[in-house]
């Protein structure tokens, strides 16, 4: 798994205490960084023996360095269709963003080799969403069309625990009350780390996949009768994927020593390397 981390440092953290906040804080931090102009930190304070203190420290969100967007970029936050992208001057960069998405899926073993359509197969379309993120990154995400009109066959359970607003507020109240250090992290293509849905799933090969296969990977052209790829992992858009991911991360957290709290199954606690730690 790949993690993009954001760190918040309180002025006086409690010794030996740590809190981990998963996923959303990373997004919030990037949005805040895009919304506010940089400000100057207060002068660094020191103790009587010359050691630096935490006074004057500024909370900083770490965003990707390889962006070419400025705060007044009119494209920030917008999404585009394939037709719109092909008319843009930066089409080649958007094309590369799609390659990047498919490269990450390949590293995770998401798809099989192109194949002929099996009899009575559960086939869905590849859906693309291209967004100019607020941090300036061109993001292309490919998911499956798991809508009811596609005739989704779901043999497994789809219920997954999710955080409610009350528990979210409670978490930050504990952070403030105990003055803890909080870290945020995000997992790239999290669902793809989980096993596939109960019923075998296939996606219909589209022009973007064919372009990536032949022009980026330099593989032989896909035969016309090879129209689908089998999905080997959970994929965003399928109704079973949230539960499959939750079961995976729940097992991992319990293995390393965390336990879910009684009334909020999305909040875990444990003593990790001697530190009392919460994980949301």
| Per-residue 3-state assignment (H helix, E strand, C coil) for the chain | CCEEEEEECCCCCCCCEEEEEECHHHHHHHHHHHHCCCCCCCCCCECCCCCECCCCCCCCCCCCCCCCCCCCCCCCCCEECHHHHHCCCCHHHHHHHHHHHHHHHHHCCCECCCECCCCCCEEEEEEEEEEECCCCCEEEEEEECCCHHHCCCCCCCCCCCCCCHHHHHHHHHHHHHHCCCEEEEEECCHHHHCCCCCCCEEEECCHHHHHHHHHHCCCCCCCCCCCEEEECCCCCCCCCHHHHHHHHHHHHHHHCCCEECCCCCCCEEEEECCEEEEEC
pLDDT classification of 255: cutoffs 50, 70, 90: very high
* Angstrom distances, CA of residue 201 to CA of 110, 187, 231, 253: 11, 23, 6, 28
Q: d(Cα 220, Cα 182) in Å, to the nearest integer?
A: 49
- What's the pLDDT at 130? 94
Which pTM was predicted?
Answer: 0.70
Is the pLDDT at 156 greater than 50, yes or no? yes
For tokens 């102009």, name the residue.
37
Is the pLDDT at 5 greater than 80, yes or no? no
Q: Residue ranges per domain, the chain?
A: 3-279
Of the listed ranges 155-159, 227-231, 238-242, the least confidently predicted one is 155-159
- What's the pLDDT at 251? 96
Q: What is the mean pLDDT of residues 107-114?
A: 96
The answer to whether 126 and 210 have CB atoms below 8 angstroms apart is no
Is the pLDDT at 231 greater than 80, yes or no? yes
- What's the pLDDT at 189? 87
pLDDT tens, 182-216? 888 888 889 999 999 988 999 999 999 999 999 99
Is the pLDDT at 77 greater than 90, yes or no? no
Q: Specify which of 7-16, 170-179, 251-260 reaches the highest per-range mean pLDDT.
A: 251-260
- What's the pLDDT at 58? 33
More confident site: 136 or 12? 136
Is the pLDDT at 178 greater than 60, yes or no? yes
Cα dihedral 258, 260, 264, 265, rounded to 10, equals 110
- What's the pLDDT at 104? 95
Backbone angles phi, psi at 29, to 5 degrees: -60, -40
Is the pLDDT at 150 greater than 50, yes or no? yes
């Amino acid at each position: 798994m790949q993690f993009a981390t954001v760190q918040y440092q309180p002025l006086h953290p409690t010794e030996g205490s740590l809190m981990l906040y998963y996923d959303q804080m990373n997004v919030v931090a990037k949005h805040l960084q895009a919304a506010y102009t940089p400000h100057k930190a207060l002068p660094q304070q020191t103790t009587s023996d010359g050691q630096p203190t935490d006074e004057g420290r500024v909370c900083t969100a770490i965003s990707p360095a390889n962006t070419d967007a400025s705060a007044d970029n009119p494209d920030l936050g917008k999404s585009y269709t394939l037709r719109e992208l092909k008319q843009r001057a930066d089409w080649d960069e958007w094309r590369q963003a799609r390659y990047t998405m498919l490269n990450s899926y390949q590293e995770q073993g998401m798809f099989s080799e192109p194949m002929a359509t099996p009899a009575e197969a559960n086939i869905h379309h590849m859906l693309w969403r291209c967004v100019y993120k607020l941090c300036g990154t061109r993001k292309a995400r490919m998911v499956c069309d798991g809508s009811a009109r596609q005739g989704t066959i779901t043999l497994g359970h789809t219920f997954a625990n999710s955080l409610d607003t009350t528990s979210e507020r409670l978490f930050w109240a504990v952070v403030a009350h105990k003055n803890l250090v909080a870290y945020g992290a995000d997992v790239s293509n999290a669902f793809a780390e989980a096993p596939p849905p109960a019923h075998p799933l296939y996606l219909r090969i589209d022009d973007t996949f064919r372009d990536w296969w032949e022009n980026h990977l330099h593989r032989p052209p896909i035969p016309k009768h090879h129209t689908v790829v089998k999905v080997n992992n959970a994929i965003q858009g399928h109704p079973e994927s949230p539960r499959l991911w939750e079961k995976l991360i729940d097992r991992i957290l319990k293995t390393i020593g965390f336990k879910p709290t009684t009334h909020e199954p999305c909040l875990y606690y444990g003593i990790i390397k001697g530190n009392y730690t919460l994980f949301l």
